[in-house]
Structure 1
Amino acid sequence: MTKLIIQIPCLNEAATLPATLAALPRRVAGVDVVEFLVIDDGSDDGTAQVARQWGVHHVVSHRRNRGLAAAFRSGVDRALAEGADIIVNTDGDGQYEGGDIEALVTPILRGQADIVIGDRGVSDNAHFSPIKRLMQRVGSGVVQHLAGTTVADAVSGFRAISRDAAQRINITTEFSYTTDMLIQAGRKRMAIATVPVRTHAAARPSRLFKSVPRFVMQTGITMARSFTAYKPLRAFVGTGSLIAFVGMIPIVRFLWFWSQGDGGGHVQSLVIGGALLVLGTLVAIMGMVADLVAANRKLMEENLVRTRKLEDMVAALHHQHAAQSGTQASPRRKDAA
Protein backbone atom coordinates (compact mmCIF):
# COMPACT_ATOMS: atom_id res chain seq x y z
CA MET A 1 0.00 0.00 0.00
CA THR A 2 1.45 3.37 -1.08
CA LYS A 3 0.75 6.35 1.18
CA LEU A 4 1.16 9.96 0.09
CA ILE A 5 1.24 12.71 2.70
CA ILE A 6 0.92 16.30 1.50
CA GLN A 7 2.49 18.64 4.03
CA ILE A 8 1.82 22.37 4.30
CA PRO A 9 4.07 24.57 6.47
CA CYS A 10 1.94 27.48 7.69
CA LEU A 11 2.42 30.78 9.47
CA ASN A 12 -0.84 32.68 9.99
CA GLU A 13 -2.57 31.06 7.02
CA ALA A 14 -6.07 30.74 8.54
CA ALA A 15 -7.57 32.88 5.77
CA THR A 16 -5.95 31.09 2.80
CA LEU A 17 -5.63 27.53 4.14
CA PRO A 18 -9.24 26.42 3.41
CA ALA A 19 -8.89 27.23 -0.29
CA THR A 20 -5.49 25.51 -0.41
CA LEU A 21 -6.89 22.37 1.22
CA ALA A 22 -9.94 22.36 -1.06
CA ALA A 23 -7.66 22.37 -4.11
CA LEU A 24 -5.59 19.37 -2.97
CA PRO A 25 -6.34 16.01 -4.61
CA ARG A 26 -8.09 13.31 -2.57
CA ARG A 27 -7.03 10.63 -5.02
CA VAL A 28 -3.81 10.24 -6.98
CA ALA A 29 -3.18 7.55 -9.59
CA GLY A 30 -0.82 4.88 -8.24
CA VAL A 31 -1.36 5.96 -4.63
CA ASP A 32 -3.62 4.05 -2.23
CA VAL A 33 -3.89 6.59 0.60
CA VAL A 34 -3.68 10.40 0.47
CA GLU A 35 -3.40 12.31 3.75
CA PHE A 36 -2.79 15.94 4.66
CA LEU A 37 -0.36 17.34 7.23
CA VAL A 38 -0.29 20.96 8.42
CA ILE A 39 2.70 22.37 10.32
CA ASP A 40 1.56 25.40 12.31
CA ASP A 41 4.78 27.38 12.84
CA GLY A 42 3.72 29.49 15.81
CA SER A 43 0.64 31.09 14.21
CA ASP A 44 -1.54 33.40 16.29
CA ASP A 45 -4.59 33.41 14.00
CA GLY A 46 -5.96 29.94 14.70
CA THR A 47 -4.32 28.19 11.73
CA ALA A 48 -4.17 24.85 13.57
CA GLN A 49 -7.86 25.03 14.51
CA VAL A 50 -8.80 25.78 10.90
CA ALA A 51 -6.75 22.80 9.76
CA ARG A 52 -8.59 20.48 12.15
CA GLN A 53 -11.97 21.93 11.16
CA TRP A 54 -11.19 21.08 7.54
CA GLY A 55 -10.37 17.48 8.41
CA VAL A 56 -6.59 17.59 8.13
CA HIS A 57 -5.30 14.18 9.20
CA HIS A 58 -2.18 15.36 11.04
CA VAL A 59 -1.35 18.69 12.68
CA VAL A 60 2.05 19.62 14.13
CA SER A 61 2.15 22.81 16.18
CA HIS A 62 5.23 24.83 17.11
CA ARG A 63 4.72 26.86 20.26
CA ARG A 64 6.60 29.77 18.67
CA ASN A 65 7.74 30.67 15.20
CA ARG A 66 10.86 28.67 14.31
CA GLY A 67 11.18 29.41 10.60
CA LEU A 68 10.46 27.63 7.34
CA ALA A 69 13.36 25.17 7.53
CA ALA A 70 12.34 23.99 11.01
CA ALA A 71 8.70 23.67 9.93
CA PHE A 72 9.74 21.61 6.92
CA ARG A 73 11.87 19.32 9.12
CA SER A 74 9.03 18.84 11.60
CA GLY A 75 6.68 17.97 8.76
CA VAL A 76 9.03 15.42 7.20
CA ASP A 77 9.69 13.78 10.58
CA ARG A 78 5.95 13.48 11.28
CA ALA A 79 5.19 12.23 7.76
CA LEU A 80 7.84 9.52 8.09
CA ALA A 81 6.45 8.54 11.50
CA GLU A 82 2.99 8.25 9.94
CA GLY A 83 4.31 5.84 7.31
CA ALA A 84 4.47 8.11 4.26
CA ASP A 85 6.01 6.51 1.18
CA ILE A 86 5.99 9.86 -0.65
CA ILE A 87 5.95 13.36 0.85
CA VAL A 88 4.80 16.38 -1.12
CA ASN A 89 5.55 19.86 0.19
CA THR A 90 3.36 22.77 -0.85
CA ASP A 91 2.54 26.26 0.44
CA GLY A 92 -0.43 27.37 2.48
CA ASP A 93 -1.05 30.56 0.49
CA GLY A 94 -2.36 28.77 -2.60
CA GLN A 95 0.59 29.74 -4.79
CA TYR A 96 0.85 26.24 -6.29
CA GLU A 97 -1.78 24.33 -8.25
CA GLY A 98 -2.94 21.30 -6.25
CA GLY A 99 -3.85 19.48 -9.44
CA ASP A 100 -0.16 19.25 -10.36
CA ILE A 101 0.64 16.99 -7.40
CA GLU A 102 -0.03 13.87 -9.47
CA ALA A 103 2.61 15.02 -11.99
CA LEU A 104 5.05 15.58 -9.11
CA VAL A 105 4.73 12.09 -7.65
CA THR A 106 4.62 10.15 -10.94
CA PRO A 107 8.43 9.99 -11.47
CA ILE A 108 8.82 8.63 -7.93
CA LEU A 109 6.07 6.05 -8.43
CA ARG A 110 7.79 4.91 -11.63
CA GLY A 111 11.13 4.58 -9.85
CA GLN A 112 12.71 7.31 -11.97
CA ALA A 113 13.48 9.84 -9.25
CA ASP A 114 14.12 10.26 -5.53
CA ILE A 115 13.18 13.96 -5.50
CA VAL A 116 10.96 15.83 -7.94
CA ILE A 117 11.00 19.64 -8.12
CA GLY A 118 8.09 21.64 -9.50
CA ASP A 119 9.49 23.97 -12.16
CA ARG A 120 7.51 27.22 -12.13
CA GLY A 121 8.93 28.39 -15.46
CA VAL A 122 10.75 31.30 -13.86
CA SER A 123 11.97 32.89 -17.10
CA ASP A 124 8.46 33.59 -18.41
CA ASN A 125 6.25 33.33 -15.31
CA ALA A 126 3.81 36.23 -15.40
CA HIS A 127 3.50 36.22 -11.59
CA PHE A 128 7.22 37.02 -11.09
CA SER A 129 8.73 40.48 -11.34
CA PRO A 130 11.81 41.00 -13.57
CA ILE A 131 14.03 41.28 -10.49
CA LYS A 132 12.66 38.05 -9.04
CA ARG A 133 13.16 36.28 -12.36
CA LEU A 134 16.79 37.42 -12.48
CA MET A 135 17.39 36.37 -8.87
CA GLN A 136 15.83 32.95 -9.47
CA ARG A 137 17.92 32.33 -12.58
CA VAL A 138 21.18 33.36 -10.93
CA GLY A 139 20.45 31.44 -7.74
CA SER A 140 19.41 28.31 -9.59
CA GLY A 141 22.54 28.51 -11.73
CA VAL A 142 24.75 28.64 -8.65
CA VAL A 143 22.90 25.71 -7.04
CA GLN A 144 23.23 23.69 -10.24
CA HIS A 145 26.98 24.20 -10.14
CA LEU A 146 27.33 23.42 -6.43
CA ALA A 147 25.02 20.39 -6.47
CA GLY A 148 25.99 19.03 -9.87
CA THR A 149 22.33 19.00 -10.96
CA THR A 150 20.30 20.49 -13.81
CA VAL A 151 17.38 21.83 -11.75
CA ALA A 152 16.17 25.03 -13.37
CA ASP A 153 14.08 26.23 -10.40
CA ALA A 154 16.18 25.37 -7.38
CA VAL A 155 14.22 27.39 -4.81
CA SER A 156 10.78 26.04 -5.70
CA GLY A 157 9.09 24.78 -2.54
CA PHE A 158 6.67 22.61 -4.51
CA ARG A 159 8.43 19.24 -4.46
CA ALA A 160 7.94 15.53 -3.88
CA ILE A 161 10.32 13.32 -1.91
CA SER A 162 10.49 9.55 -1.66
CA ARG A 163 10.63 7.96 1.77
CA ASP A 164 14.22 6.81 1.23
CA ALA A 165 15.35 10.29 0.19
CA ALA A 166 13.57 11.90 3.15
CA GLN A 167 15.42 9.54 5.50
CA ARG A 168 18.78 10.45 3.95
CA ILE A 169 18.33 14.23 3.82
CA ASN A 170 19.26 16.18 6.96
CA ILE A 171 18.32 19.86 6.75
CA THR A 172 20.81 21.95 8.74
CA THR A 173 19.97 25.51 7.72
CA GLU A 174 17.68 27.76 9.77
CA PHE A 175 16.54 29.86 6.81
CA SER A 176 15.20 27.87 3.86
CA TYR A 177 15.49 24.17 3.13
CA THR A 178 15.21 24.38 -0.66
CA THR A 179 18.83 24.96 -1.69
CA ASP A 180 20.26 22.97 1.24
CA MET A 181 18.22 19.92 0.22
CA LEU A 182 19.26 20.10 -3.42
CA ILE A 183 22.96 20.46 -2.66
CA GLN A 184 22.78 17.50 -0.27
CA ALA A 185 20.80 15.42 -2.76
CA GLY A 186 23.20 16.22 -5.57
CA ARG A 187 26.27 15.35 -3.51
CA LYS A 188 24.61 12.14 -2.31
CA ARG A 189 23.97 11.13 -5.93
CA MET A 190 20.19 11.05 -5.64
CA ALA A 191 18.06 11.05 -8.77
CA ILE A 192 16.47 14.49 -9.12
CA ALA A 193 13.77 15.24 -11.70
CA THR A 194 11.76 18.34 -12.57
CA VAL A 195 8.23 18.71 -13.91
CA PRO A 196 6.51 21.91 -15.05
CA VAL A 197 3.90 23.19 -12.61
CA ARG A 198 1.38 26.00 -12.60
CA THR A 199 1.36 28.89 -10.14
CA HIS A 200 -1.09 31.52 -8.99
CA ALA A 201 -0.53 35.15 -8.13
CA ALA A 202 0.76 35.67 -4.60
CA ALA A 203 -2.05 36.33 -2.13
CA ARG A 204 0.30 38.31 0.11
CA PRO A 205 3.98 39.36 0.37
CA SER A 206 6.40 36.59 1.25
CA ARG A 207 6.92 35.98 4.96
CA LEU A 208 10.19 34.15 4.32
CA PHE A 209 12.24 37.32 3.96
CA LYS A 210 11.67 41.01 4.61
CA SER A 211 13.86 42.39 1.83
CA VAL A 212 15.58 41.25 -1.35
CA PRO A 213 19.13 41.96 -0.02
CA ARG A 214 18.43 39.89 3.11
CA PHE A 215 17.08 37.02 1.02
CA VAL A 216 20.15 37.08 -1.24
CA MET A 217 22.50 37.18 1.75
CA GLN A 218 20.76 34.36 3.65
CA THR A 219 20.48 32.16 0.56
CA GLY A 220 24.15 32.75 -0.23
CA ILE A 221 25.15 31.77 3.31
CA THR A 222 23.01 28.63 3.10
CA MET A 223 24.58 27.58 -0.20
CA ALA A 224 28.11 28.29 1.04
CA ARG A 225 27.56 26.29 4.24
CA SER A 226 26.06 23.34 2.38
CA PHE A 227 28.82 23.24 -0.22
CA THR A 228 31.56 23.61 2.41
CA ALA A 229 30.06 20.79 4.45
CA TYR A 230 30.07 18.36 1.52
CA LYS A 231 33.14 19.54 -0.41
CA PRO A 232 35.52 20.91 2.25
CA LEU A 233 38.73 20.04 0.39
CA ARG A 234 37.59 21.85 -2.72
CA ALA A 235 36.35 24.85 -0.74
CA PHE A 236 39.26 25.28 1.68
CA VAL A 237 42.19 24.01 -0.37
CA GLY A 238 41.01 26.04 -3.36
CA THR A 239 40.71 29.17 -1.22
CA GLY A 240 44.03 28.52 0.48
CA SER A 241 45.78 27.97 -2.84
CA LEU A 242 44.40 31.26 -4.15
CA ILE A 243 45.61 33.14 -1.06
CA ALA A 244 49.04 31.50 -1.33
CA PHE A 245 49.25 32.38 -5.03
CA VAL A 246 48.46 36.02 -4.26
CA GLY A 247 51.14 35.88 -1.53
CA MET A 248 53.73 34.69 -4.02
CA ILE A 249 53.35 37.86 -6.11
CA PRO A 250 54.97 40.28 -3.60
CA ILE A 251 57.57 37.62 -2.74
CA VAL A 252 58.56 37.34 -6.40
CA ARG A 253 58.60 41.16 -6.54
CA PHE A 254 60.99 41.28 -3.59
CA LEU A 255 63.25 38.63 -5.11
CA TRP A 256 63.41 40.60 -8.35
CA PHE A 257 64.55 43.79 -6.61
CA TRP A 258 66.88 41.78 -4.37
CA SER A 259 68.55 40.25 -7.42
CA GLN A 260 69.09 43.81 -8.68
CA GLY A 261 70.76 44.76 -5.42
CA ASP A 262 67.82 46.82 -4.18
CA GLY A 263 66.17 44.39 -1.76
CA GLY A 264 66.49 46.57 1.32
CA GLY A 265 63.77 48.98 0.25
CA HIS A 266 61.23 46.29 -0.49
CA VAL A 267 61.19 44.20 2.68
CA GLN A 268 57.52 45.03 3.18
CA SER A 269 56.72 42.98 0.06
CA LEU A 270 58.46 40.00 1.63
CA VAL A 271 56.54 40.45 4.90
CA ILE A 272 53.14 40.75 3.19
CA GLY A 273 53.84 37.87 0.83
CA GLY A 274 55.06 35.65 3.66
CA ALA A 275 51.98 36.40 5.76
CA LEU A 276 49.68 35.55 2.85
CA LEU A 277 51.62 32.38 2.12
CA VAL A 278 51.28 31.23 5.74
CA LEU A 279 47.60 32.14 5.78
CA GLY A 280 46.96 30.18 2.58
CA THR A 281 48.74 27.14 4.01
CA LEU A 282 46.67 27.30 7.21
CA VAL A 283 43.43 27.54 5.22
CA ALA A 284 44.45 24.50 3.17
CA ILE A 285 45.21 22.57 6.37
CA MET A 286 41.78 23.55 7.69
CA GLY A 287 40.34 21.95 4.56
CA MET A 288 42.10 18.68 5.34
CA VAL A 289 40.74 18.70 8.89
CA ALA A 290 37.26 19.59 7.61
CA ASP A 291 37.46 16.69 5.16
CA LEU A 292 38.07 14.30 8.05
CA VAL A 293 35.09 15.81 9.87
CA ALA A 294 32.98 15.40 6.70
CA ALA A 295 33.97 11.73 6.47
CA ASN A 296 32.87 11.23 10.07
CA ARG A 297 29.59 13.05 9.33
CA LYS A 298 28.92 10.67 6.43
CA LEU A 299 29.32 7.71 8.76
CA MET A 300 26.93 9.31 11.25
CA GLU A 301 24.39 9.97 8.49
CA GLU A 302 24.61 6.34 7.35
CA ASN A 303 24.00 5.21 10.93
CA LEU A 304 21.04 7.59 11.15
CA VAL A 305 19.52 6.13 7.97
CA ARG A 306 19.97 2.60 9.35
CA THR A 307 18.31 3.67 12.61
CA ARG A 308 15.35 5.11 10.72
CA LYS A 309 14.96 1.93 8.70
CA LEU A 310 15.11 -0.15 11.88
CA GLU A 311 12.35 2.03 13.32
CA ASP A 312 10.30 1.28 10.20
CA MET A 313 10.80 -2.45 10.73
CA VAL A 314 9.81 -2.21 14.39
CA ALA A 315 6.69 -0.18 13.49
CA ALA A 316 5.73 -2.72 10.81
CA LEU A 317 6.13 -5.60 13.26
CA HIS A 318 4.06 -3.70 15.82
CA HIS A 319 1.20 -3.15 13.38
CA GLN A 320 1.40 -6.76 12.25
CA HIS A 321 1.22 -7.96 15.83
CA ALA A 322 -1.69 -5.59 16.53
CA ALA A 323 -3.55 -6.89 13.50
CA GLN A 324 -2.99 -10.51 14.49
CA SER A 325 -4.14 -9.88 18.06
CA GLY A 326 -7.23 -8.03 16.86
CA THR A 327 -6.26 -4.74 18.47
CA GLN A 328 -5.62 -1.39 16.92
CA ALA A 329 -2.57 0.73 17.63
CA SER A 330 -3.41 3.84 19.59
CA PRO A 331 -3.62 6.95 17.41
CA ARG A 332 -0.81 9.45 17.60
CA ARG A 333 -1.43 12.62 19.53
CA LYS A 334 -1.16 15.97 17.84
CA ASP A 335 2.44 17.07 18.25
CA ALA A 336 3.47 20.31 19.90
CA ALA A 337 7.01 21.52 19.68
Structure 2
Amino acid sequence: MISPIIKVIIPAYNEAGSIGKVVSEIPGIVHEIIVVNNGSTDETPSIAHKAGATVLYQPKKGYGYACLKGLDYLEDLPEKTDIVVFLDGDYSDYPEDLLLLIEPILNKQADFVVGARVKKLREKHSMTPQQVFGNWLATTLMKLFFKAHFTDLGPFRAIQYKTLKSFAMTDKTYGWTIEMQLKALRNKVSYTEIPVRYKKRIGVSKVSGTVKGTIFAATKILGWIFKHSLSK
Protein backbone atom coordinates (compact mmCIF):
# COMPACT_ATOMS: atom_id res chain seq x y z
CA MET A 1 0.00 0.00 0.00
CA ILE A 2 1.66 3.22 -1.20
CA SER A 3 0.98 6.44 0.73
CA PRO A 4 -2.26 5.18 2.28
CA ILE A 5 -4.96 7.61 3.35
CA ILE A 6 -5.27 7.12 7.11
CA LYS A 7 -8.12 8.56 9.15
CA VAL A 8 -8.56 8.43 12.93
CA ILE A 9 -11.97 8.36 14.59
CA ILE A 10 -12.19 9.38 18.25
CA PRO A 11 -15.56 9.14 20.05
CA ALA A 12 -15.57 11.72 22.83
CA TYR A 13 -17.93 12.57 25.66
CA ASN A 14 -16.77 15.20 28.17
CA GLU A 15 -13.05 14.68 27.56
CA ALA A 16 -12.00 18.33 27.82
CA GLY A 17 -9.10 17.42 30.09
CA SER A 18 -7.58 14.96 27.64
CA ILE A 19 -8.77 15.40 24.07
CA GLY A 20 -6.25 18.11 23.20
CA LYS A 21 -3.37 15.87 24.29
CA VAL A 22 -4.71 12.92 22.29
CA VAL A 23 -5.18 14.88 19.07
CA SER A 24 -1.84 16.68 19.29
CA GLU A 25 0.15 13.47 19.82
CA ILE A 26 -1.26 11.52 16.87
CA PRO A 27 1.55 10.95 14.31
CA GLY A 28 1.69 13.23 11.28
CA ILE A 29 1.23 10.28 8.91
CA VAL A 30 -2.51 10.56 9.62
CA HIS A 31 -4.43 12.55 7.03
CA GLU A 32 -7.39 13.53 9.21
CA ILE A 33 -8.38 13.23 12.86
CA ILE A 34 -12.13 13.05 13.40
CA VAL A 35 -13.44 13.70 16.89
CA VAL A 36 -17.09 12.78 17.27
CA ASN A 37 -18.58 14.89 20.03
CA ASN A 38 -21.06 12.51 21.65
CA GLY A 39 -23.22 15.01 23.50
CA SER A 40 -20.48 16.64 25.58
CA THR A 41 -21.46 19.38 27.99
CA ASP A 42 -17.90 20.67 28.46
CA GLU A 43 -15.35 22.22 26.10
CA THR A 44 -14.43 18.96 24.36
CA PRO A 45 -15.47 20.06 20.82
CA SER A 46 -13.76 23.44 20.92
CA ILE A 47 -10.53 22.01 22.34
CA ALA A 48 -10.51 19.25 19.71
CA HIS A 49 -11.07 21.77 16.92
CA LYS A 50 -8.32 24.04 18.23
CA ALA A 51 -5.95 21.04 18.30
CA GLY A 52 -6.60 20.45 14.60
CA ALA A 53 -9.33 17.83 14.52
CA THR A 54 -12.45 17.74 12.40
CA VAL A 55 -15.33 17.80 14.88
CA LEU A 56 -18.60 16.02 14.19
CA TYR A 57 -21.69 16.09 16.38
CA GLN A 58 -23.65 13.03 17.45
CA PRO A 59 -26.10 13.92 20.22
CA LYS A 60 -27.32 10.33 20.60
CA LYS A 61 -25.25 8.91 23.44
CA GLY A 62 -23.39 5.70 22.74
CA TYR A 63 -19.92 4.63 21.63
CA GLY A 64 -21.30 2.86 18.58
CA TYR A 65 -23.43 5.85 17.62
CA ALA A 66 -20.30 8.01 17.63
CA CYS A 67 -18.26 5.53 15.58
CA LEU A 68 -21.06 5.14 13.03
CA LYS A 69 -21.24 8.93 12.69
CA GLY A 70 -17.55 8.95 11.87
CA LEU A 71 -17.98 6.23 9.24
CA ASP A 72 -20.90 8.09 7.64
CA TYR A 73 -18.60 11.10 7.32
CA LEU A 74 -15.90 9.02 5.62
CA GLU A 75 -18.44 7.56 3.22
CA ASP A 76 -19.37 11.05 2.02
CA LEU A 77 -15.81 12.22 1.37
CA PRO A 78 -14.64 12.55 -2.24
CA GLU A 79 -11.27 10.99 -1.41
CA LYS A 80 -11.02 7.33 -0.55
CA THR A 81 -9.89 6.16 2.86
CA ASP A 82 -7.51 3.22 3.12
CA ILE A 83 -7.07 2.66 6.85
CA VAL A 84 -9.28 3.66 9.77
CA VAL A 85 -7.89 3.85 13.29
CA PHE A 86 -10.15 4.01 16.34
CA LEU A 87 -8.81 5.62 19.48
CA ASP A 88 -10.37 6.72 22.77
CA GLY A 89 -10.27 10.36 23.79
CA ASP A 90 -9.29 9.79 27.43
CA TYR A 91 -5.49 9.68 26.89
CA SER A 92 -5.21 6.15 28.26
CA ASP A 93 -3.50 4.99 25.08
CA TYR A 94 -0.29 6.38 23.63
CA PRO A 95 -1.33 7.97 20.32
CA GLU A 96 2.13 7.45 18.83
CA ASP A 97 1.58 3.68 19.07
CA LEU A 98 -0.69 4.12 16.06
CA LEU A 99 2.43 3.51 13.99
CA LEU A 100 2.69 0.01 15.48
CA LEU A 101 -0.95 -0.78 14.72
CA ILE A 102 -0.88 0.16 11.06
CA GLU A 103 2.40 -1.61 10.30
CA PRO A 104 0.88 -5.11 9.78
CA ILE A 105 -1.68 -3.58 7.41
CA LEU A 106 0.95 -1.68 5.46
CA ASN A 107 3.03 -4.86 5.20
CA LYS A 108 -0.04 -6.86 4.09
CA GLN A 109 0.26 -9.17 7.09
CA ALA A 110 -3.25 -8.42 8.36
CA ASP A 111 -6.35 -6.43 7.48
CA PHE A 112 -7.37 -5.83 11.10
CA VAL A 113 -5.17 -5.06 14.10
CA VAL A 114 -6.18 -4.77 17.76
CA GLY A 115 -3.98 -3.02 20.28
CA ALA A 116 -3.69 -5.50 23.14
CA ARG A 117 -3.32 -3.95 26.58
CA VAL A 118 -0.95 -6.60 27.91
CA LYS A 119 -0.22 -6.63 31.62
CA LYS A 120 3.50 -5.92 31.32
CA LEU A 121 2.80 -2.70 29.38
CA ARG A 122 -0.10 -1.48 31.52
CA GLU A 123 0.32 1.16 34.17
CA LYS A 124 -0.82 -0.05 37.56
CA HIS A 125 -4.57 0.43 38.11
CA SER A 126 -5.06 1.60 34.51
CA MET A 127 -7.67 -1.13 34.04
CA THR A 128 -10.29 -1.93 36.64
CA PRO A 129 -10.72 -5.53 37.89
CA GLN A 130 -14.03 -5.73 36.03
CA GLN A 131 -12.33 -4.67 32.78
CA VAL A 132 -9.62 -7.31 33.19
CA PHE A 133 -12.17 -10.03 33.99
CA GLY A 134 -14.51 -8.93 31.20
CA ASN A 135 -11.74 -9.07 28.63
CA TRP A 136 -10.66 -12.49 29.84
CA LEU A 137 -14.21 -13.87 29.73
CA ALA A 138 -15.04 -12.44 26.30
CA THR A 139 -11.82 -13.58 24.66
CA THR A 140 -12.04 -17.01 26.30
CA LEU A 141 -15.55 -17.46 24.91
CA MET A 142 -14.38 -16.34 21.46
CA LYS A 143 -11.60 -18.90 21.62
CA LEU A 144 -14.05 -21.60 22.71
CA PHE A 145 -16.75 -20.83 20.13
CA PHE A 146 -14.70 -19.54 17.20
CA LYS A 147 -11.10 -20.70 17.81
CA ALA A 148 -10.11 -17.03 17.96
CA HIS A 149 -6.72 -15.78 19.11
CA PHE A 150 -7.82 -12.45 20.55
CA THR A 151 -6.70 -11.62 24.09
CA ASP A 152 -8.26 -8.17 24.41
CA LEU A 153 -11.20 -6.02 23.30
CA GLY A 154 -8.98 -2.96 23.24
CA PRO A 155 -10.57 0.10 21.60
CA PHE A 156 -7.26 1.21 20.03
CA ARG A 157 -7.41 -0.59 16.68
CA ALA A 158 -6.73 -0.23 12.97
CA ILE A 159 -8.55 -1.78 10.04
CA GLN A 160 -8.69 -1.50 6.28
CA TYR A 161 -11.60 0.75 5.45
CA LYS A 162 -12.98 -1.52 2.74
CA THR A 163 -12.91 -4.42 5.19
CA LEU A 164 -14.75 -2.43 7.83
CA LYS A 165 -17.39 -1.38 5.31
CA SER A 166 -18.03 -5.04 4.48
CA PHE A 167 -18.89 -5.68 8.15
CA ALA A 168 -21.98 -3.42 7.96
CA MET A 169 -21.56 -2.47 11.62
CA THR A 170 -24.74 -1.89 13.60
CA ASP A 171 -24.07 -1.72 17.35
CA LYS A 172 -24.92 1.67 18.81
CA THR A 173 -23.39 1.38 22.26
CA TYR A 174 -20.88 -0.77 24.11
CA GLY A 175 -20.93 -3.76 21.76
CA TRP A 176 -19.09 -1.98 18.96
CA THR A 177 -15.65 -3.48 19.62
CA ILE A 178 -16.82 -7.06 20.08
CA GLU A 179 -19.06 -6.81 17.01
CA MET A 180 -16.05 -5.83 14.90
CA GLN A 181 -13.98 -8.73 16.20
CA LEU A 182 -16.76 -11.27 15.75
CA LYS A 183 -17.43 -10.12 12.20
CA ALA A 184 -13.73 -10.36 11.43
CA LEU A 185 -13.87 -13.98 12.56
CA ARG A 186 -17.06 -14.74 10.66
CA ASN A 187 -15.75 -13.16 7.45
CA LYS A 188 -12.38 -14.89 7.83
CA VAL A 189 -10.54 -11.57 7.82
CA SER A 190 -6.83 -11.76 8.57
CA TYR A 191 -6.15 -10.21 11.97
CA THR A 192 -3.48 -9.84 14.58
CA GLU A 193 -2.84 -8.18 17.92
CA ILE A 194 -0.03 -5.77 18.73
CA PRO A 195 0.91 -5.18 22.38
CA VAL A 196 0.41 -1.52 23.28
CA ARG A 197 1.13 0.58 26.32
CA TYR A 198 -1.78 1.68 28.49
CA LYS A 199 -2.00 4.24 31.29
CA LYS A 200 -4.58 5.57 33.72
CA ARG A 201 -7.11 7.66 31.87
CA ILE A 202 -7.80 11.31 32.55
CA GLY A 203 -11.20 11.64 34.20
CA VAL A 204 -13.73 8.96 35.08
CA SER A 205 -14.69 6.15 32.70
CA LYS A 206 -18.26 6.28 31.44
CA VAL A 207 -18.32 2.47 31.27
CA SER A 208 -16.14 0.81 33.90
CA GLY A 209 -16.43 3.82 36.19
CA THR A 210 -20.09 3.12 36.94
CA VAL A 211 -22.01 0.01 37.98
CA LYS A 212 -24.68 0.68 35.36
CA GLY A 213 -22.11 1.11 32.61
CA THR A 214 -20.25 -2.05 33.59
CA ILE A 215 -23.42 -4.19 33.63
CA PHE A 216 -24.71 -2.76 30.36
CA ALA A 217 -21.35 -3.28 28.62
CA ALA A 218 -21.08 -6.86 29.88
CA THR A 219 -24.60 -7.65 28.72
CA LYS A 220 -23.95 -6.26 25.26
CA ILE A 221 -20.64 -8.06 24.85
CA LEU A 222 -21.96 -11.44 25.96
CA GLY A 223 -25.07 -10.93 23.85
CA TRP A 224 -23.02 -10.46 20.71
CA ILE A 225 -20.91 -13.54 21.43
CA PHE A 226 -23.87 -15.84 22.03
CA LYS A 227 -25.76 -14.40 19.06
CA HIS A 228 -22.90 -15.24 16.75
CA SER A 229 -22.27 -18.64 18.33
CA LEU A 230 -25.89 -19.67 17.78
CA SER A 231 -25.89 -18.51 14.17
CA LYS A 232 -22.68 -20.25 13.13
Q: TM-score, normalised by structure 2?
A: 0.87
Report sequence identity in percent.
24
1:111 is aligned to 108
Matches within 5 A, 1:188-267: 188-208=187-207, 210-211=210-211, 212-228=214-230, 230-231=231-232
1:73 aligns with 2:68: yes
Q: Could you tell me whether the CA contact under 8 Å between 2:121 and 2:198 is conserved in 1?
A: no
What amino acid is the match of 2:158? A
Residue aligned with 1:6, SS: strand
Q: Could you tell me whether the CA contact under 8 Å between 1:122 and 1:128 is conserved in 2?
A: no
CA–CA separation in structure 1 for the residues paired with 2:101 and 2:86: 10
2:177 is aligned to 178
Superposed displacement of residue 99, structure 1? 1.3
Residue aligned with 1:45, SS: coil
**Deviations 1:52-108, CA, capped at 9 Å, x for gaps:** 22221x32211x233001111221232344322101000101011111101100111
Which one of the candidate residues 144, 166, 169 is aligned to 2:167?
Answer: 169
CA–CA separation in structure 1 for the residues paired with 2:44 and 2:186: 37
Residue aligned with 2:178, SS: helix
Residue aligned with 2:69, SS: helix
Higher helix fraction: Structure 1 or Structure 2? 1
Superposed displacement of residue 48, structure 1? 2.0
1:55 is aligned to 52
Unmatched segments (≥5 aa) in structure 2? none
Distance change in 2, residues 1:95/1:106 (3 Å)? same
Which one of the candidate residues 13, 16, 21 is aligned to 2:15?
Answer: 13
Q: Could you tell me whether the CA contact under 8 Å between 2:23 and 2:52 is conserved in 1?
A: no
Distance change in 2, residues 1:2/1:215 (3 Å)? closer
Superposed displacement of residue 143, structure 1? 2.5
Q: Could you tell me whether the CA contact under 8 Å between 1:20 and 1:92 is conserved in 2?
A: yes
**Deviations 1:260-287, CA, capped at 9 Å, x for gaps:** xxxxxxxxxxxxxxxxxxxxxxxxxxxx
Residue aligned with 1:194, SS: strand
Q: Could you tell me whether the CA contact under 8 Å between 1:148 and 1:187 is conserved in 2?
A: no
**Deviations 1:126-155, CA, capped at 9 Å, x for gaps:** 3234443233212211123344320111x2
Q: Could you tell me whether the CA contact under 8 Å between 1:107 and 1:113 is conserved in 2?
A: yes
Q: Could you tell me whether the CA contact under 8 Å between 1:113 and 1:191 is conserved in 2?
A: yes
CA–CA separation in structure 2 for the residues paired with 1:40 and 1:65: 10
1:96 is aligned to 93
Superposed displacement of residue 213, structure 1? 3.4
CA–CA separation in structure 2 for the residues paired with 1:167 and 1:214: 26
CA–CA separation in structure 1 for the residues paired with 2:161 and 2:206: 28
The structure showing larger relative contact order (alpha-carbon pairs under 8 Å, at least 6 residues apart) is 2
CA–CA separation in structure 2 for the residues paired with 1:204 and 1:11: 11
Unmatched segments (≥5 aa) in structure 1? 28-32, 232-337
CA–CA separation in structure 2 for the residues paired with 1:145 and 1:60: 39
Count of residue pairs the alignment pairs up? 222
Superposed displacement of residue 200, structure 1? 1.2
**Deviations 1:280-314, CA, capped at 9 Å, x for gaps:** xxxxxxxxxxxxxxxxxxxxxxxxxxxxxxxxxxx
What amino acid is the match of 1:78? Y
CA–CA separation in structure 2 for the residues paired with 1:90 and 1:13: 13
Residue aligned with 1:102, SS: helix
Distance change in 2, residues 1:146/1:173 (3 Å)? farther
Q: Could you tell me whether the CA contact under 8 Å between 2:15 and 2:203 is conserved in 1?
A: no
